[in-house]
Amino acid sequence: MANAKLKVGLIGTGDFGPHFAPYVNEVSELVAVCDPNPAGLANFSKQTGLKLPEFDHHEKLLDSADLDAVVIASPNFTHKEIAIAAAKRGKHIFCEKAMATTTSDCWAMVRACEKANVRLVVGHKRRLRPPWARMVELREKLGPALAITACAYHDARAYDNTSKWWCQREKSGGTLPLIGVHIIDWMRAMCGDVATVRALAAPQIDTGYDFPDTLHVSLEFKSGAVASLTVSLSSPPLKFREAGGPQIVYRNGGVRFDPHMEHLDLYWQHHDDKEPRLERFDDLGFDDAYRQEFGDFVRWVSDDRYQPCLTWREGLRCVEVMEAAHRSADEGGSIIAMPLYPALE
């Protein structure tokens, strides 16, 4: 393994699969692809220029292709079944977020991988993008983060979610996997594990979703820090990439982060500074993040002593927070203590 490239199969050739494939090929060898939709397979070949063996079911790929690992880029509700099937065949797994639609499904994936002694990583790139990683790094100058607020109101109509599986809670996981999953994981990178979750849903605007299209979430962390995340799929003024910029209270200063379509502005100020400092990121940082998360996965497969930037823990804890928030909203804003399923710990 140390001298040979990791052989990888890609499961899911929709929007994300063709985009992620080049990063896979930089550090490993993509040898086969799988999707039940022939149009998806054709589109993958057209977008990437790759001519690879194609399969219409993950079981066929796992049984027929010479693989060391798989990338799961299929819809959220399929992740558990595919991951368990891959683990049983001794394949290492890189799973795109959200890890699954429920925390119990996440634990089933973890247990299958532990039993088979295979690696499981969930891709949560935002915490790794340099502009967002910079806010984590600023704790060294400004002290620990004590409070965070982020508003991710945006207009989701351009993505046509209501004609796809995304609009069904059973398949997508609900509101937060569409808008909020990245920010929740980044908040955990900032503040650590979550102690309690509370959420309230606003009156629904877009009834194409079978879950609330606007949600307000409050988090209390075990560190004592607090955070609020407000999300909406039905707010016209901003596009997705322009929304979600956090404001942060550190013990010794603060940050304001303004995302724009083509650049990101980070303003930070220590209590001793007279004026805020501006750091502009013209590179949004996607390449760095994708390369780090998948490069670490490959290294971890080759060396079990290696400490990767992400494992399954980040993916599971993020799903746990999202599930708790949806449950709280269903119950009219009840406070949900974490972990959500102590018996599974």
Give the pLDDT confidence of 265-305 residue by residue, as tens digits.
999 999 999 999 999 999 999 999 999 999 999 999 999 99
Alpha helices in 2-90 (DSSP H): 16-27, 38-48, 58-64, 79-88
Q: Are strands 264-270 and 277-281 parallel, antiparallel or unpaired?
A: antiparallel
What residue has token string 């996965």?
297
The candidate with the shortest Cα–Cα distance to 298, out of 103, 121, 170, is 121
φ, ψ dihedrals at 37, nearest 5°: -100, 110
Identical fold at 7-123+288-308 and 126-284+320-344? Answer: no
Q: What is the pLDDT of residues 41-91, one digit of tens each?
A: 999 999 999 999 999 999 999 999 999 999 999 999 999 999 999 999 999
Q: What are the extents of the domains in the chain?
A: 7-123+288-308, 126-284+320-344
Question: What is the reported pLDDT for 4?
Answer: 84
pTM, rounded to two decimals: 0.97
**Nearest to residue 254, comparing CAs of 128, 130, 132, 145?**
145
Summarised one tens digit per residue, pLDDT across range 94-131 is: 999 999 999 999 999 999 999 999 999 999 999 999 99
CATH architecture of 7-123+288-308: 3-Layer(aba) Sandwich (3.40)
How far is 19 from 165, CA to CA, in rounded Å?
A: 20
* The dihedral formed by the CA atoms of 134, 180, 150 and 338, expressed in degrees to the nearest 10: -90
- Report the mean per-residue pLDDT for the chain: 97
- Whole-angstrom distance between the N-terminal and C-terminal Cα of the chain? 32
In degrees and rounded to multiples of 5, residue 142 shows phi and psi of -110, -5
Res. 15: pLDDT tops 50: yes
- The encoded tokens of residue 12 equal 């899911």
Q: Is the separation of the CB atoms in 251 and 143 below 8 Å?
A: yes
Q: Is the pLDDT of residue 2 over 90?
A: no
Q: How far apart are CA 89 and CA 49, in angstroms?
A: 29
13/42 Cα distance (integer angstroms) = 9
DSSP notation for 226-272: EEEEEEESB-TT--GGGS--EEEEETTEEEEEEE-SS-EEEEEEETT
Q: Do residues 135 and 227 touch, judged by C-beta distance below 8 A?
A: no
Helix orientation angle between 130-137 and 181-191, rounded to the nearest 10 degrees: 30
Does residue 308 surpass a pLDDT of 90?
A: yes
* Integer Cα distance of 252 and 208 in angstroms: 45
Quote the tokens at residue 230: 């407000």
The residue type found at 117 is: N
pLDDT at 301: 98
Instruction: Report pLDDT for 1.
Output: 47
Smallest CA-to-CA distance from 10 within 43, 26, 34 is with 34
β-pairing verdict for 277-281 and 226-232: unpaired
> Residue 300 has what pLDDT?
98
pLDDT at 3: 60
Fold of 126-284+320-344: Dihydrodipicolinate Reductase; domain 2 (3.30.360)
Distance between CA 184 and CA 132 in Å, rounded?
A: 12
Task: Place 255 in a pLDDT band, splitting at 50, 70 and 90.
Answer: very high
Q: Is the pLDDT of residue 309 over 80?
A: yes
